[in-house]
A and B are shown apart, each in its own frame.
Chain A
Amino acid sequence: MKKFLLAFSIVVASMFVAEEASAQIKAGEGQVSIALESNNTYYTKDQKILDIGKYKPNEDTARTKGDFGSNDYLKVDYNLGRFSAGVQVDAFLPALWGYDFYKFQQRDSKMTAFLTKYVQWEDQNWGVRLGDIYDQFGNGLIFRSYEERALAINNSLAGGRAYYNFNNMVNVKVLAGLPRLYDVRSKNIVWGADLALSISDMAGWNNGVVSIEGSYVGRYQNDISELQSMIDNKLLNMVSGRLNFETAGFTLRGEYVAKLNEDFFDPGRDSAKGNAVVVDLGYNYKRFSVSATIRRLQNMTTPIEMVKPGIGSGNTINYIPLLTRQHTYMLANLNPYNATTTFAGGSEIGGQIDVYYSIRSSKQRIKYWNFHANFSMFNSLDHKSLDGNTEIKGRNAWIDFNFDVERQWSKKLKTTFFYSYQRRDETMAHEDAVDAYYCGSHIFVADVTYKFNKKHSIRVEAQYMAANNYEGDWVAGLIEYNFAPKFSFYVSDMWNCEKMNDPKYGGNYYQYYGADGYPIEDSYGFELMHYYQVGTTFTHKNFRAQLSYGRNRAGYVCSGGQCRFQPAYTGVNLAFTLTF
């Protein structure tokens, strides 16, 4: 509690600072900018959540007994003309529960901080950066170093990067470094090169973009893990080839990648080579647009270190996101697609399509209709079971169809209606099953915003999920009252209103498995539970704080197409950001 109060007092201090310093600091000719983000949770005791622990003997329930977690980020940058430099301190005091960072830390759970830094020169046609590098080649299928704070992922490369651009026609980039693995620096080296040729610029074609691109990425294993000794080559090579074509509202982007050496994409399975194809198609005409993605993946998940499993999604040098729509409504997000990457050996084939259309009156700009439809389908590929004994045929893992229509009736009233049908093969989140077990759900949401005047407005959400799966039906609601521009208050509840103990996955003890194939979570007979939240946000210039209290359901929290498993907890959250 002391720590929570300390965090709170920093929030108050930050508010005064935001008042005083709304802009930046000049340091000589250059300028300094600072950003602070802090996420704190004080966990409270909740008997209902503790009861879940009875069903789950492996569950770490210590966190429900009044513990504290805090993920904090302080970033300071200096900029002088083409030169810039910066540091970032990530402090985990200790890491919030449920983050893969926390899972990784359990080796020696403690408060920890990690420093990243860089110096950079950006010239007109070339640039050099030393220190921590964030970059990606193409879609990131063979290389992406990035930061995703919602999942506490940061795999920046500590090393160097240089690029040269010749009249936009030729772009060459090289980089090398040691990837960050949570709060340690890996000893393994990752290097890569990327070449992009713009055919349209070479031909002087101004009506569109045609480019050919290619990349190479190598990973050299310096660690002598048990798994490493099982493959011959310490060096892993990956290549990518890409073609981009865009003209008059039409887009076609294709990428093929291959993992040329055997690698343990999943420590539970045999080592394997891998490949992937992804094709993006887009078309737009006035206010109508379509975007579609098709992807086939096989064994492309590539870890930084082939260490013992159970350390989660931060152990990666590339980016294999889920392509399904990431929902913002509570019930649509209850059981997101996270299946084939977990249990079908990291392989899938599928695609998704989005269609947008907007109707606007040319006279009354304020009145419009926005339509959006989305469909996705993913199948697993033929693969061997985790124990290597059974051949499992590929089959449908996920289908969803979503439709939403947004209508601005007048300056005061806006409504959104949303419908989603989702069907998943439940086995894929639990086990290597020969037969599918499909669970489907229909989700309905009505979302209404009413503005009383320029400052006061109210937003109400009503949601219902009709499900045939073991969790039964759910109902949810949210009321949000806004005093623009500074305050907002909200209260919400999500209630599992129909008890259903499915003979297959409900009622009995059952284990969930992580992406690495090791059990991370156990299932139980579902209770009728209220998951309530009450909270407030405060915004003042560059300062924003959110204070909330509530019970959180166990489930997947997804951001940018990647997910982490969040165990159930009840607690007080205080999050704030300050930039200047």
Chain B
Amino acid sequence: MVIVRLATPLRKFSGGKPEIKAEGSTVREIIDNIEAKSPGFADKILDDSDIKQFINIFHNNEDIRFQKGIDTEIKPDDVLSILPAVSGG
């Protein structure tokens, strides 16, 4: 199972929990599996199968855009963080 950390605005899909466990071997599969249990989740994250403008997804602390985007392969016990892009500076 993969640990998925969620930004505060996404916690309505996790019953208020800051992190949940999900199954899947790619970022896309993990999002689809969370969507199956919590409809509306994927719409918040993806836009035409790509990550939305104001969302960043990190795989083991690295931006997945430096890996294979939503097709990045994920191993059990890896950590995904889904965070807002607009902070810092």
Are A and B genuine complex partners? no
